[in-house]
Amino acid sequence: MLKAISRIFKIISMLFFLYLFLVSISLMSHAFKGFGHGFAERLITTTSNPFVGLFIGILATSIIQSSSTTTSMVVAFVAAGTLSVRNAIPIVMGANIGTTVTNTLVALGHITRKEEFKRAFSGSTIHDLFNLFTVAILFPIEMMTRYLERTGTFLSSLFLDMGGVRFTNPIKIVVKPAVDLIYGVLRRSIFVSEGLLNTIILAVSVALLFISLYKIVQIMRMLVIKRADIVFDKVIRKNALLSMIMGMLFTAIVQSSSITTSILVPLVAAGVLEIEHSFPIVLGANVGTTVTAILASLTGNIAGITVAFVHLIFNVTGILIIYPFKQLRAIPLKVARFIAEICAKRRILAFVYVIGLFYMLPLILIFLSKYFR
Amino acid sequence: MFKNLMAFWKGKDFLTEVLEEFKEMLDDTKYMFESVCRGLIEGKADPCLKDKTYEIDKKVNLIEKKIRKRIVEHLSIQPTIDVPASLVLMSVVKDAERVGDYCKNMFEIIGLLEKPLKKELFKELFDNIDKEIMDEFEMTQKAFIESDEEVAREILYLERRVVRKCDEIVRTLAKSNLPTNEAVCLALLARYFKRIAAHLTNIGSSVILPISDLDFFDERLRNEKG
């Protein structure tokens, strides 16, 4: 009885934070709109260089350690019209790389035991490497063909034709009173210029986004972890497709690929799971994490939905290009083992790898691209 | 595919699943002990005893690995849940596996013996220790699976009795004029009985001992007596 009440309470809390999440995205879009054309132009100019967009995506996600947050914010930017779909795509790609920092940090926790660390580091870098390889392949293809933009637009138009936007209308209607209320309260209680008010609203929306996503992840984890524990043991090591589906579903439910991939690292470290078996789960997590952006896009317009679809297509294409082919699939696995071998021999290199790849390199490249523009 | 996913979703929870597997380990080792004893003492050796013994020992080893893997998986996914139970299980599966090994060693004595064991001599020396160990198997399973503290305490006293008897057998054999082959085989048997009883007690006493004191049940017994 008590268990059932606690479960119901958790579900109600989760629905409340989901609502808060949708409100935060909508509020953010309003704030961006409020900044006017000047802000939009500056943002578009800054991200018009796709490399800068890519590195912004890596850096921002590495800092906040959540691709769901970055992509949801990108969706809000695009829905507000302050960022074009084209400029948003490299940021989404960068977010995919940046999000892998979390499990790499988890692997660093095993650094005192050499063999264990070697396994843990290969288990975490497989995610980094797969996402890096996917970007290395798809980024130039996108630059040349705009296939992600076109496919995303096509799919969102199908969504529109299917009445998808009509479906999104109730969400907009439900979210609107809360957005209006927050806007109204802030406007009436803080007597500042319109620009500063928008900055405050943006700060409030970002805070709400972080809190709501954090709580959704926490509650959903509590709700499904016991089942995940049971399912996990039966699925892993058996069938790559089932593992992928499990990784996707678990991540879609808990709304965090970092949770899924971070669970795998200690298992690989302990030697009870080979990276060949954790790999499909990681790929499933890549797809599952796109659900958050899709949810966020439901509060916005067709452009926001396009970006959410781009995130999904990008991850699915990456899997379809690399995973089905044995030789291609072996590349990230071999490189992950090679990097882990080197870093286990000279453990300082592991820190160089994390700081260099996720923080220093994007920072330097953003600076250089700005300097040499 | 959907059927598979649903079957996985409806699976048993961690502790239920692992305890069932551990019970299987205890059942298997009990069966091994019983069959080897029958072959050794009563001379009613099953022609397939060797294959069966080695096969079950392999199975017991596999279950040990499976349980350990499952524990690591569980603690990686839910690091704060069932930690004490997981640590106890990690320790007792090793004991169950060792029991399997000793049963295998007991079987090897059949090959070492030049002549079949004399029933009367065995009865006189061992005074039903094999039956007491069989009882201990039952009690260990009950104590551990049902967390029965009473039975766990009874195991401690039963083990003391078995240990005393086994030590006495070795002393008697050392002073006896029995042929070397027979004396060595009987001494080994007494030693294996003692080890099996001790490992079963490790499992049973885990119900009443704090995790840090696992395997040190004799100290507990001394303290309780003292």
- Counting Cα atoms < 13 Å in the Cβ hemisphere of B131 gives 5
Out of A231, A241, A242, the one facing B9 most closely (by C-beta) is A231
Nearest-5° Cα angle at B130, B200 to B116: 130
**What pLDDT band is residue A108 in, cutting at 50, 70 and 90?**
very high
pLDDT mean over B100-113: 93
Comparison of pLDDT for A187 and B45, the residue scoring more: A187
Confidence (pLDDT) at B55: 95
A118-132 pLDDT, tens digit per residue, is 999 999 999 999 999
Neighbours of A200 (CB within 10 A): 15
Mean pLDDT, rounded, for A340-349: 94
Q: What is the mean pLDDT of residues B152-156?
A: 92
Amino acid (one-letter) located at A304:
G
Q: Does A225 touch chain B (CB under 8 A)?
A: yes
What is the predicted ipTM? 0.71
Rounded to whole angstroms, the Cα distance separating A260 from A247 reads 7
Following DSSP, what letter does each residue of B137-158 receive, concatenated? HHHHHHHHHTT-HHHHHHHHHH
**Per the structure, how many domains does chain B have?**
1
A290-314: pLDDT as tens digits? 998 888 888 878 888 899 999 999 9
User: Is the model more confident about B13 or about A284?
Assistant: A284
Provide long-range contacts, Cβ within 8 A and 24+ apart, for A109-116.
Answer: A110/A265, A110/A266, A110/A269, A111/A347, A111/A350, A114/A344, A115/A344, A116/A269, A116/A270, A116/A271
Which pLDDT belongs to residue A301? Answer: 80
**pLDDT beyond 80 at B43:** no
Is residue A87 within 8 A of residue A47, CB to CB? The reply is yes
Q: If you count residue pairs, one on A and one on B, with CB atoms under 8 Å apart, how many are there? A: 57
Do the Cβ atoms of A235 and B70 come within 8 Å? Answer: no
Average pLDDT over residues A163-185: 74
Reply yes or no on whether the pLDDT at B214 is more than 90: no
> In angstroms, what separates the C-alpha of A270 from chain B's closest C-alpha?
8
pLDDT of residue A331: 95
Mean confidence (pLDDT) of chain B = 88
pLDDT reported for residue B221 = 64
- Using the beta-carbon criterion (under 8 Å), do A242 and B1 form an inter-chain contact? yes
**Does residue B8 belong to the interface with chain A, where contact is any CB pair within 8 Å?**
yes
Q: What's the confidence (pLDDT) of residue A146?
A: 93
Residue of A103, A221, A231, A233 best to disrupt the B interface, most CBs of B under 10 A: A233
Mean pLDDT, chain A, whole residue set: 87
Is the model's pLDDT at B95 over the cut of 60? yes
Is A40 a residue whose pLDDT tops 70? no
Residue A249 · residue A281 · CB < 8 Å:
no
Q: For residue B45, is pLDDT > 70?
A: no
Of residues B204, B78, B221, the one with CA closest to residue A229:
B78
pLDDT tens track for A216-244: 888 888 888 877 788 787 777 778 999 99
Name the residue ranges covered by the structural domains of chain A.
12-371
Give the model's confidence band at B1: pLDDT under 50 very low, under 70 low, under 90 confident, else very high.
low
Distance (Å) of CA A65 to CA A69, A119, A295 = 9, 22, 19
Instruction: Give the 3-state secondary structure percentages of chain B, helix then strand then coil, rounded to 5.
Output: 80, 0, 20
The per-residue pLDDT for B224 is 65
Interface contact B76, partner A, CB < 8 A? yes
Domain coverage including residue B177: 2-223
Decide if A242 touches B, using CB distance below 8 A.
yes
Question: Is residue A215 predicted with pLDDT exceeding 60?
Answer: yes
- Write down the pLDDT at residue A162: 60
Nearest CB to B11 within list A230, A242, A266: A230
Do A229 and B9 count as a contact with CB atoms less than 8 A apart? no
Q: Name the band, by pLDDT with cuts 50, 70 and 90, for residue A161.
A: low
Asked if the model's pLDDT at residue A169 lies above 70, the reply is no
User: What is the tens place of the pLDDT at every residue in B115-130?
Assistant: 888 888 888 899 889 9
Contact B11 A245 (CB under 8 A): no
pLDDT in tens, B185-198: 999 999 999 999 99
Q: Which residues in chain B touch residue A233, judged by CB atoms under 8 angstroms apart?
A: 11, 17, 70, 73-74
Which residue carries 């669970």 as its tokens?
A263
CATH code at position B141: 1.20.58.220
3-class secondary structure, A80: helix
Chain B: closest CA distance from residue A242 (Å): 8
- What is the nearest CA distance from A266 to chain B, expressed in angstroms? 6
